[in-house]
Homo-oligomer: A and B are copies of this chain.
Amino acid sequence: MTKEKPIPGAYGARSRAADTGQRVYEALRQKAIDYTLRPGERVNEVRLASELDVSRTPVRAGLNRLVSEGFLKLVPNKGFYRPAIDIETIRSLFEMRSAIELLSVRLFCERAGDDQIDALEHLATVFQRADDTLSVPQIVDEDERFHESIAHGSRNSEAARLLSDMNSRMRFLRLVALERQNCNQVTGEDHARIARAIRTRDSAQAVALMREHIDLMLNDVTEIAREAVVRIYLGAGASESGDNTFS
């Protein structure tokens, strides 16, 4: 064992720190989203800290926040755990997301300004036009953008916040789901239809379409979960972020 850090007073080398906390938090969040932190495993704070080149303090701060977001569980005196993947939780996520989206789209119809509707239609159009030139991760990005802009336009801050959380936790699953059923075309058309219903302020119709659009995935939950587990443990999961995107 070699001694390091013999000089407690010499701070200069590390003193940059403007946004350490936020940076670490986002890095951890990303690791949780793409399942670099594997389900069922304990999170090693020391290892994470040295990987991110910081001390354990900001790491623990970030981990604590991820607990309340549902990404991690804290077992006293044992540490932080990434919860195991189980069908019940996945189903819960899809169902809750559905409830939030249905609320959002209804409120959007009632409250959104015409400019916001324009923006939404634009998103749907661009998405539909881009067609199959997009990679699967890009499709998920577009899909999230569409849905979250509805949540924002609904002027319900909780809906926006919670939908964003849900989407982060489900991102990997939706990646798998979209890849399986080749949904890009279908998704684009769905969005366009929803946008049209919103344009006419037909809230009932918009809600119905949205329900249909979302519930599609609920049917395949079991298959999606199974596929996801395989991906995670074969290490193919992290490929979406950064440079190495497959198509």
Show the binding face of A for B, using Cβ within 8 Å: 19, 21-22, 60-62, 64-70, 76, 88-89, 91-93, 95-96, 98-100, 102-103, 107, 155-159, 161-162, 166
Contact = CB atoms under 8 A, between A and B. Distances in A.
A118 B1 CA distance: 64
Contact of A157 (B76, B88, B158, B161): B88
The 7 A-B residue pairs with the shortest CB-CB distance, nearest first, are A68-B68, A96-B158, A99-B103, A64-B64, A92-B158, A92-B156, A65-B68
Contact of A96 (B66, B88, B159): B159
21 contacts: A19-B76, A22-B76, A61-B61, A61-B64, A64-B65, A65-B65, A68-B68, A68-B69, A70-B158, A88-B155, A89-B157, A92-B159, A95-B103, A95-B156, A95-B159, A96-B100, A96-B103, A96-B156, A98-B103, A99-B99, A99-B103
